[in-house]
Chains A and B, each alone.
Chain A
Amino acid sequence: MNKALFLYELLRMRRSLATKSLLIFAIIAGFYSIWSGLAWQESNYASLIQYEEQLQEHAAKWRADLVAIENGESESSPYSARPMDIQLPAVHKTGSLSHLAIGMNEILPKRIMISPRRNGMSMVEPYEYDNPMTLLFGRMDFVFFVTIIMPLLLIALNFDVIASDRARGLYKMLLSNPLTESSIIMNRMLARSGLLLVIVMVALIYGLMVAENVSITAATAWIILVGAYFLFWFGLIFLLVGRSKKGVSSLSKLVSFWLLFVLIIPAASNSISTYLFPQPSKLELLSDARFASSEATKRTAELTQNFLEDHPELTIGDDQVPGYYRALFLSNSVVENNTQPIVQAFADSMHDREDMLDVLQYLSPTTIMQRSLIALAQTDSRSHALFMQAAGQYLDKINETVEDQVLSRNRITVSTFDQIPMFGDIWMATAKPKISIIGPFLFMLIFGLLLIGSSKMKLVSDSGE
């Protein structure tokens, strides 16, 4: 009987123009979101690769000059192959699934020029060339589709699963058969929602397959999270449609829950965590850096004197090299030291906020999903903070390598330069945070099952009455 009901519902769906329209919309929106993300990712990667190539070309030219000088060929100018002019790229390419979850990646800096001329504050070149209006409008990636559009489609497909029959009196006729109220709703909802789940999963699997180097673990994590999120909404709709006598009342309630879970709680959670743990002022950081830089410039002579007193062996150098190089290097060290506390405050504030959101996210499965998926795609703030930290370490490493030679106005050797690693090696060696989806997955799964279970119990007891 259940199977017959399920098949009957599928037949009804075939005849319903509204249902067909919704499912076609789901197919278009799902695949469009993946295509849109792929287009963005391709352009992003191409841009980063071009940037890397540009700087690597510069580094190769710099090295060729150094080789020529070491080989005794005449230097083209006193400035040739000076260690202060080393420029190496550090780029944040994010995970291969970033086309599914663009996250913060569109607005945060992704390319850094690592050079002894820069300090931690100035190593990020200006990158704010995007149209702010298009950033404001946002993009429709797969996370947007699955967390915001999918639940509403599920509501639209199911809100009148039983109410219309109740209104027409068909429901009592159905109940005269050996069927429970919950099994009628469940079978109908399974038929109505099943196709949507298939569409979502096919779109997701397509999105996973077109990505390069996706691990089975990451792909599985995406699939089970989307499945659990679907189950949560299925459970909520199951609970509410069974209790509503009228389709309109069920629709109003479901849309209200959608608003609450999808829009209001995530927005409020984000605003509250930002309010309680505000990011330190970047403008204050700027003021500190400028003050430190100004003071260091004033004290250049003193700083140089102190250094040379500590390192008398480094006093001999090439007088043709401007003192500006040495002054800039020393000034960068001072700026680095003086801005360290506020840079640390930035990191602490971000971690505090994220820790709070780790708790607040359980107020809404949508928040859980959005945070988990962008973390899996490495397009979240934590992943970016790690990239900035790795870039800072890379800069420190290069500075350590060239320090003595810059301050003594000498060049480094080719073999010393060749020992400088590429940023990719540093990034690979950086310990990435473990992203556990067990908690979010179990929460949504249990929540969804509880909603279905409690609804079944209520409907069975009502039928008993």
Chain B
Amino acid sequence: MISEIISSKEQTIMGRNRFTTIIYLVTLVIMLVAIFLSWQRTDTLERERASAATNDHEVWINQGERNPHSAAHFSRYAFKPIPAMSTFEPGAIDYSGLAVWMEAHRRNPAVFRYAEGAGDLSNYVSLTPAWIMQVILPLVIILLLFSSYAGEREDGTLKQLLSHGISLKSIFQGKLSAAFYVVLKLLIPLSFIIIVATIFFQAGSAQVDQLLRLTILLSVYALYFMIFAFIAIGVSAKSTSRRSAAITLFTIWFVLIVVAPRFANDAATFVVPQPKGFEVERSLSEARAAYSKDDNYQEISRQEILDKYGVSSINDLPINYRGYILQRSEEHADPLYDEVYDDLKEVYERQEIILEGLSFLSPTTALKKLSAGLAGTDRIHHEAFSWEAELHRRSIIKQMNDDLMLNGVDTGNTYTAGVELWNQITEYRGEAPRFLSLISYYISMFAALITLTILAFLFARRTTLSIDDLEAIS
């Protein structure tokens, strides 16, 4: 009962405070502007993707009569679907390529990164809804809560409360309830805007998965805000004045949100350096050339096909031998390409293990990764797209080689195929993986965030319940 009164008093004071109202309104307006700009960007990217996919299909179908191997070199592009939630959290989508060229003999990385043309300043700050939630809202929470105890202490009302026999626990519960109110008042309208932006602005997504992702995402942000609310209450309870509470909290905000994520990233890339692009290229070239140097494999391939058709000479084969060899060379290269990309993936994972370790020091580091993962805009989702594109590439190239092998028997190298073959190539229809299938990648981030929330709560509880103002009275 007492805690309800305290909570109600806090809410009333906040309601009367013009500063609080202005903060809410400004946050809401900035959020709306960010959502509009972000949605506009997502919409443009999606339209460009759809248009490029259509054009690619047209060019492929209308390429005319051509040798299937020449067509395999020209091949197709796989375009990355833009997740609906990228309106809220573009994450790493701007830093990962949008299209993969699925050509013969090459496993290419995704190219065309949006960030390259997004302006010089985007490297420092980027006005997106997620950025506002990650950076600005914790500051708003601090501004609203830094005086919760320190203000009462400075004004002398804390002693009055205690002298009336009100327990520290009741005061803590009241303040906590007010903090929940602050967080919910921020979260509810913003969540509504995010849900609208995500679900209704883009149809066709897997709605159940989207809703699951959204629910977890909003819960994660609620935890994140609560961490800062607990820290604000705890620091306020420890501080002798509003001034000292404000200094401490702004410093904490600055270190945890502005400095720590960049420092964590510097540490990750220093300990595990980024791979040198041209060295990766060289490894891929070596993988490509490995077949021509592997005499043993060539001999085995030759013998296998001779045995299969029961003939002793290549000239007696009822197939186009070149088509067969082209396919065998692809099969020889594929595991070697996988090795190169697995090595690359290992580097990324080692970098992210460091980021994850350091995220126990800053909730923002954990949240940034988790938020991008839930929105489907992180590296894990990008790699899922790249791998699907690679499987599709292998399927296209095999179809081309098989056609040359089976139908180019008499015509040899002059054999050409036409639109019938081009039509047999299925379109790449990449779909974002379901979040539950990837959840194991994010367990440590959830653990970091939950641990930090519990620690922040315990800090707030301990500092508020050990206030010694009562002793000062007695």
Name the B residues within 8 Å of A393 (CB-CB): none
Question: Mask for A103-138, Cβ within 8 A of B = 1, else 0?
Answer: 110111001000000000000011111111111111
Q: How far in angstroms is the closest Cβ of chain B from A252? A: 7
* With A293-B74, A350-B117 as contacts: A104 and B123 at CB distance below 8 Å: yes
Task: Enumerate chain B residues within 8 angstroms of A286, measured Cβ to Cβ.
Answer: 52, 77, 99, 112
Instruction: Confirm or deny: A298 has a beta carbon within 8 angstroms of a beta carbon on chain B.
Output: yes
Known: A278-B44, A297-B63, A367-B121. A259 touches B270 (CB 8 A): no
B120 touches A370 (CB 8 A): yes
Is there a chain A Cβ closer than 8 Å to B126's Cβ?
A: yes
Find chain A residues with CB under 8 A from B136 CB: 259, 263
A50 & B276 in contact (Cβ 8 Å cutoff): yes
Residue count of chain A within 8 Å CB distance of chain B: 88
B-facing mask of A262-294, CB < 8 A → 1, else 0? 111011111111110011011110110011011
**B304 to A: closest C-beta gap in Å:** 29
Could you mark each residue 320-360 of chain B with 1 if its beta carbon is under 8 Å from any beta carbon of chain A, else 0?
00000000000000000000000010011001100100000
Return the contact of A131 from the options B34, B98, B110, B274 (Cβ within 8 A).
B274
A248 in contact with B33 (CB, 8 Å): no
Check A132 against B95 for contact (C-beta < 8 Å).
yes
From B91, B127, B278, B352, residue with most partner A Cβ within 10 Å = B278
A334 on the B face (CB < 8 A): no
Q: Tell me the complex Cα distance, A291–B143, Å.
A: 57
Across the interface, B92 reaches (CB within 8 A) one of A133, A283, A290, namely A133
Q: Which residues of B contact A39 (CB under 8 A)?
A: 270
The answer on a CB contact under 8 Å between B95 and A136 is yes
B contact residues around A246 at 8 Å (CB) = 242-243
Give chain A interface residues in 417-463, CB to chain B under 8 Å: none
Q: Which residues of B contact A130 (CB under 8 A)?
A: 95, 274-275, 277
CA A46 – CA B280 in complex, angstroms?
Answer: 15
* CA of A135 to CA of B90, assembled, Å: 13
- Identify the closest chain A residue to B23 (Cβ): A256
Interface stretch (choices A76-84, A144-152, A233-241, A307-315): A144-152
CB of A133 within 8 A of CB of B355, answer yes
Q: Pick from B41, B62, B250, B266: contact of A139, CB below 8 A.
A: B266
Residue among A126, A160, A259, A293 making CB contact with B111, cutoff 8 Å: A126
Given A267-B125, A293-B74 in contact, is the A136-B263 Cβ separation under 8 Å? no
Which residues of A lie under 8 Å from residue B265 when comparing CB positions? 134, 137-139
What's the dominant secondary structure at chain A's contact region?
helix
A40 nearest CB neighbor, chain B only: B269
Which segment of B177-185, B253-261, B393-401, B446-454 sits at the interface?
A: B253-261
The main secondary structure of chain B at its interface with chain A is helix
- Flag if A138 contacts B63 (CB, 8 Å): no
Residue A251, interface by CB 8 Å: yes
- Is B317 part of the contact surface with A, judged by Cβ < 8 Å? no
**A251 with B56: CB separation less than 8 A:** no
Residues of B within 8 A of A96 (CB): none
| Inter-chain contact A259/B139, CB cutoff 8 Å | yes
Query: A271: which B residues are within 8 A, CB to CB?
Result: 34, 37, 126-127
Assess the B51–A284 pair: CB atoms within 8 A.
yes
Contact A297 B66, beta carbon cutoff 8 Å: yes
- B121 is contacted by which of A126, A269, A346 (Cβ under 8 Å)? A269
A128 & B143 in contact (Cβ 8 Å cutoff): no
Given contacts A275-B37, A287-B59, A297-B66, contact A164 B115 (CB under 8 A): no
Interface string of B265-288 (1 = CB under 8 A from A): 110111001111111111000000
Instruction: Known contacts A136-B91, A251-B246, A275-B40; decide if A128 and B48 are in contact (CB<8 Å).
Output: no
Q: Please determine whether A270 and B119 come into contact, CB atoms closer than 8 angstroms.
A: yes
Contact mask for chain B residues 88-122; partner A; CB cutoff 8 A; 1 contact, 0 none: 00011011111100000000111111011111111
A residues near B259, Cβ cutoff 8 Å: 29, 140, 149
Q: Which of B44, B119, B242, B277 has the most CB of A within 10 A?
A: B119
User: Which residues of chain B are within 8 angstroms of A136 by Cβ–Cβ distance?
Assistant: 91-92, 94-95, 368, 372
Contact indicator A251/B348 (Cβ below 8 Å): no
Q: In B1-55, which residues have CB < 8 Å from any A CB?
A: 19, 30, 33-34, 37, 40-41, 44, 48-49, 51-52, 55
Query: What are 16 A-B pairs with beta-carbon distances under 8 A?
Result: A129-B274, A136-B91, A137-B265, A139-B265, A160-B243, A247-B246, A252-B19, A263-B136, A266-B124, A270-B120, A275-B37, A281-B48, A297-B66, A298-B64, A346-B117, A380-B120
Enumerate the 9 nearest inter-chain pairs by beta-carbon distance, A residue then B residue, closest first: A137-B265, A283-B52, A267-B127, A279-B117, A132-B92, A287-B55, A132-B95, A135-B95, A132-B96
Beyond A111-B278, A133-B379, A134-B351, 8 extra complex contacts between A and B, CB < 8 Å: A135-B115, A137-B262, A139-B266, A164-B243, A248-B147, A251-B247, A281-B48, A297-B74
